[in-house]
Structure 1
């Protein structure tokens, strides 16, 4: 896996190593060891999946401690524009944003 900084604290692009053959493809989407080493220790406690039709906008999420959560977002079919905005007052990147297209073709995670 390749971990790419975005310029926003705690927001990282994850580019998996994809292995393709005549059957399709395989990649590791999460490795505790690599996340602990290259991002920070992450304790995933929940796994969700959602499906949206064309033009759907899914909510704005903000969690304050002690209710904050780490998220790993990817798109398994089609494509989605994912946007992160730093609204943490006092943060060095307060008011800045980052967006990325996640797709079934690029396999990127965010």
Structure 2
């Protein structure tokens, strides 16, 4: 079972809504729904039922909730990507001046 799918399931269980869970996990709503569908396919039972105003856990979902909490709490935390140092792009700019050669002339602007 994928830990990220379990985290998505826990977010849906806490929020009771796909969109709010997606905002909380910083992923798209489609990713949340795909994770839930993958878990349901792996377990073989329906975990959530959708309504017009949100999502509720089924009886099987409530039973699976304790197992999901245990697995997520025992899982190692993923490494945090702090990013690297930003590098400035090197544009074309002027050509370097080379000793012994004349400076490059400036092209006239056409009219």
TM tier, smaller = under 0.3
TM-score, normalised to structure 1's length? 0.24
Q: TM-score, normalized by length of structure 2?
A: 0.24
More helix by share: 2
